Structure 1
Amino acid sequence: MINEIKQDAEERMQKSVEALGNNFNKIRTGRAHPSILDGITVNYYGSDTPLNQVANISVLDARTLSLSPWEKQMVPEIEKAIMKSDLGLNPATTGELIRIPMPPLTEETRKGFIKQARAEAEGARVSIRSVRRDAIAHIKDLLKEKEIGEDDERRAEDDIQKITDKFVAEVDKALAVKEADLMEI
């Protein structure tokens, strides 16, 4: 029973770290990366469709993304969606190919992105602590129902705290990597 609670907590904490990684991918660095466009949806025959489902996204060079829409009439829709996104990107169209140059980051935008990354990391830490709180509550319920003893409860709480510390350290490490990436010129 205790092992199931620990395993469930570990899986949920791992999902929080994975979600943080996805959120970090959406924070733009100076380099071109297709995941920057992940949050953009395009009006495709009346329904909002993710950009990567209506066009092939590739990296031309370190500072340029290239989009090849599968249907030529989607070019203006894709351009409009990229312009409306709050990424600050200006697409340039040449026939059927859309090029998106990545503007260099200023010191001010770098600091803003770092602030955003820190907020995302704090959200992940809060999520991990929430999972810890739930797991400890389950263990306390087991103690109340006399299914486990106090020694088992303490041992389980210590184990859950160790798991929590491990995942919080992963979040801190991911944040340090992202900050270094953002400050790189």
Structure 2
Amino acid sequence: MSEEVDLIIEATEDDMKGAISHLKKQLLNIRAGKASPNMLTNVQVEYYGSMTPLSQVSNINIPDARTISIQPYEKQMIVEIEKAIMNANLGFNPTNNGESVIINVPPLTEERRKELSKQAKAEAEEAKIGVRNDRRNANSELKNLDISEDLLKSAEEEVQELTNKYISQIDKIYEAKDVEIMSV
């Protein structure tokens, strides 16, 4: 194959890998009932006048499946951390014991599990749309090249194989997340 064709196919594969990594990041934000430090990734705490990620002002631990423990590096930050968690609208009610902030993660109701499953499915569909758009862009770039019909056909087949591979990966990632969400 020509060098231009190889470049287009490589760039397309990179774009499809990007869709997969974006999907994984989005699915991390969907909580599955178990406590995880990822639940607090978007929490910003006011620290000496500037907004700082929670992970930079404290240690976040998971002592058990339903509890998150946040140990601030400075004791006076406890009230700020509690306020930041409340302002983040995560549905958590933090408490403190004078040393650290404790969050009890409530178990999910069946209705909430179904909602989260739908949300995960929507994220997976978005990723599939991204992969299909990458395929369309690659095919249009290939058609604009001055190459033989046979070379064009084999390049398009290779792009389709990549598309099938990444769509299959998206399905597997979604199925794993759905099992995680639906298990009690």
Place the TM-score, normalised by the shorter chain, in its bin. Answer: over 0.9
**Cα distance, 1:112 vs. partner?**
1.1
1:3-22 equivalences in 2 (<5 Å): 3-22=6-25
Indicate whether 1:134 and 2:137 are aligned: yes
Match of 1:86 among 80, 84, 89: 89
Residues 99-123 of structure 1 deviation map (CA, whole Å, 9 limit, x = unaligned): 1111000011111111111111111
Q: In structure 1, the residue corresponding to 2:68 is in which secondary structure?
A: strand
Instruction: Give yes or no for contact 1:34–1:58 (8 Å, CA) kept in 2.
Output: yes
Aligned residue in 2 for 1:45: 48
Q: Per-residue deviation at 1:86?
A: 3.1
User: Hey, what's the Cα distance between the residues in 2 that align with 1:129 and 1:88?
Assistant: 35
SS at match of 2:63: strand
Q: 1:136 & 1:43 partners in 2: Cα distance?
A: 48
Cα distance between partner residues in 1 of 2:126 and 2:144: 27
TM-score between the two structures when normalised by the length of structure 2: 0.93
Determine whether 1:112 maps to 2:115. Answer: yes
Equivalent residue, structure 2, for 1:67: 70
The offset of 1:96, in angstroms, is: 2.5
Aligned to 1:182: 181
> Which deviates the most, 36-45 or 109-118?
36-45
Per-residue CA deviation, residues 48-99 of structure 1 (Å, 9 max, x unaligned), is 2222112111111111111111122222221112112232111111113111
Following superposition, the deviation at residue 125 of structure 1 comes to 0.9
Q: 2:140 and 2:52 mapped to 1: Cα distance?
A: 41
For residues 10 and 99 of structure 1, the distance between their equivalents in structure 2, rounded to whole angstroms, comes to 43
Give, as a single letter, the amino acid of the residue that structure 2 aligns with 1:171. Answer: I
Gaps of 5+ in 1: none
- Structure 2 counterpart SS, 1:120: helix
The range that moved more, 77-86 or 167-176, is: 77-86
Q: Is this contact kept in 2: 1:40–1:82, CA < 8 A? A: yes
| Percent of residue pairs identical | 44
Deviation at 1:44, TM superposition (A): 2.3
**TM-score, normalising length from structure 1?**
0.93
Count of residue pairs the alignment pairs up: 181
What are structure 2's unaligned runs of at least 5 residues? none
RMSD of aligned Cα (Å)? 1.2
